[in-house]
Structure 1
Amino acid sequence: MQGVLEVANELNSPVIIATTPSTIDYAGMDYLVSMVKVGAKRYNIPISLHLDHCSDIETIKRCIKEGYKSVMIDASLKGYEENIKITKEVVDFAHKYNVSVEAELGLVGGQEDERKIEEKDSMLTDPYMALDFIEKTKVDSLAVAIGTAHGAYKCEPKLDFERLHEINNLLSIPLVLHGASGVPAESLIRAIEYGICKVNIATELKMPFADAIKKFFNENPSANDPRYYLVPAKEALKKVVAEKIQICGSINRG
């Protein structure tokens, strides 16, 4: 988090810090909220704490009450009508606290937290179903399935830009791209041109961070002080964050 906020501040870019339910289990909700509040005081840029891929309504309500400004209710594994019902319940609650709500329609493949969707089970978002969905739920943003997947890709993903373009023409809310790690820059730029307003990147940040730590210990096998081995890890992460901020066109938009 420290590295992401530092780069965002250096480039004067707004930034969204996303945590999954397992991140909360690991670090603690109050601790995560407090860290973001410190960052918001230190840096004069828009910073939002977002809850990603949560299917538990009570956890979502706790996050909202603790200070999260954005939440994602993920009922995409449910039937369509049940997804609408659950999403609307979250929207009705969140809007009382001026918190924005993201939902998902379709199934993005790969593994996110404890949820794993095989490629054969992934399902692209239907444009007209998406229109019906947002009209009935009043959700603030929609994660669309257009060919990306969570985690690392074995080959270059093929995004369905025609589908995305149609969805964007029908809908009047921001669209979200999950599984953006490993998507080529030109594809991300085109997706943004076609309505993507929020780009989720995790794996592509974790990998250089971990690789830098491995490299440090290979070169310094007796090292044990995190103040030293975390420095190259943070710098490796910051390099990728800076590249993504530039690709997304958010430099000097803070």
Structure 2
Amino acid sequence: MPLVTSKNMLADAQRGQYAVGAFNVENMEMVKAVIAAAEELKAPVMLQTTASTVKYGTLETYFAMVRAEAEKASVPVCLHLDHGNSFELAVRAIKAGYTSVMMDGSQEDFEGNVAVTERVADVANALQIPIEAELGKVGGKEDDLEAEADTNTDPEEARIFVERTGVTSLAVAIGTAHGFYAGTPVLDKERVSQIRSKVSVPLVLHGGSGLSDEDVKDCIARGMCKVNFATELRAAYTGAVKKLLEEEPGTIDPKKLGQVGMEAVKQLVKDRIKVCGCNGKANEGKRAE
């Protein structure tokens, strides 16, 4: 089916108290793997590319790959710009065909974040493209952005931010981090409940890679409607390729490398879809937008 926006996906997830899995993709094999996993489990799915990924491959190339695979699938597929770092990039993504965008102004102070996010939201909302933003700072490293995980989202600030910017979903900081965790993460899960009581738009959990299934499920029960997974997909893909080269060092066919990487990513995505609880929910996301 054609690419869809995240509007119905996230609204249905919020209503049904599950989350949509959002998976960062870097190449054709990862695109195919994520959509194949969603197809097998009849799940709505979001594929994401960051600013550095589209710098590597271009917005148009990723859009073409995801659209081609989505059109062969029976489940709803959304293409999302993850951690858009400028107004210009977000607008370019929309023009290229992306069906959801994120403006990450979390490196700015509150007013600066409001200003740049509102500017993108004005364009996105006029074109009926959902827009995600981030308030607080999710720790770790995402592309060239680094943040300490000590600036959790204030619930009242979240309410004001959503009202002033017009965003349609909000990524919040509760102690998660991008990349793999050095130790066991301590999440302020009660903060999710507090933010949910103040904010009506769907909430987004960044830094899903490495969290326990129990932590993810608890966050979803408290109001998270979208969970991002990136680092562990890269690790699964690369690990499978390394294993093949160790076992068969004479392998030179890139297709063989891609096949094992693709299978590893597919299995991981299937596991994460089940944790999010969106397996079997594909039909809910097919409503007219």
C-alpha RMSD of matched pairs (Å)? 0.9
Identity %: 43
Q: Which runs of 4+ in 1 moved over 2 A?
A: none
Answer yes or no: is 1:85 the counterpart of 2:138.
no
**CA–CA distance in structure 1, aligned partners of residues 93 and 260 of structure 2:** 32
In the alignment, what sits opposite 2:249? 221
Aligned counterparts, 1:41-190, within 5 A: 41-119=71-149, 122-190=150-218
> Offset of 1:229 from its aligned partner?
2.1
In the alignment, what sits opposite 1:197? 225
> Offset of 1:118 from its aligned partner?
3.5
**CA–CA distance in structure 2, aligned partners of residues 118 and 130 of structure 1:** 19
The TM-score normalised by the length of structure 1 is: 0.97
**CA–CA distance in structure 2, aligned partners of residues 161 and 208 of structure 1:** 28
Structure 1 residues without counterparts, runs of 5 or longer: none
- Which moved further from structure 2: 132-141 or 226-235? 226-235
Number of residues of Structure 1 aligned to a counterpart in Structure 2: 252
**CA–CA distance in structure 2, aligned partners of residues 130 and 3 of structure 1:** 35
Which residue identity is paired with 2:96?
E
Cα displacement string for residues 147-178 of structure 1 (whole angstroms, at most 9, x for unaligned residues)? 10000111121110111110011111100000
**CA–CA distance in structure 1, aligned partners of residues 165 and 255 of structure 2:** 47
**CA–CA distance in structure 1, aligned partners of residues 98 and 243 of structure 2:** 36
Does the CA contact (< 8 Å) of 2:137 and 2:148 recur in 1?
no
> Offset of 1:98 from its aligned partner?
1.0
The TM-score normalised by the length of structure 2 is: 0.85
Which residue identity is paired with 2:105?
A
**CA–CA distance in structure 2, aligned partners of residues 52 and 172 of structure 1:** 21
Answer yes or no: is 1:233 the counterpart of 2:266.
no
**CA–CA distance in structure 2, aligned partners of residues 180 and 141 of structure 1:** 17
Which of 45, 48, 61 is matched with 1:31 structurally? 61
In the alignment, what sits opposite 1:15? 45
> Offset of 1:29 from its aligned partner?
1.1
Cα displacement string for residues 91-115 of structure 1 (whole angstroms, at most 9, x for unaligned residues)? 1101121100001100011000111
> Offset of 1:202 from its aligned partner?
0.5
**CA–CA distance in structure 1, aligned partners of residues 191 and 148 of structure 2:** 21
Which residue identity is paired with 1:48?
C
**CA–CA distance in structure 2, aligned partners of residues 103 and 22 of structure 1:** 18
In the alignment, what sits opposite 1:2? 32
**CA–CA distance in structure 2, aligned partners of residues 62 and 205 of structure 1:** 26
Helix, strand or coil at the partner of 2:207: coil
Q: Which of 1 and 2 has higher RCO (CA within 8 Å, sep 6+)?
A: 2
Structure 2 residues without counterparts, runs of 5 or longer: 1-30, 283-289
In the alignment, what sits opposite 1:209? 237
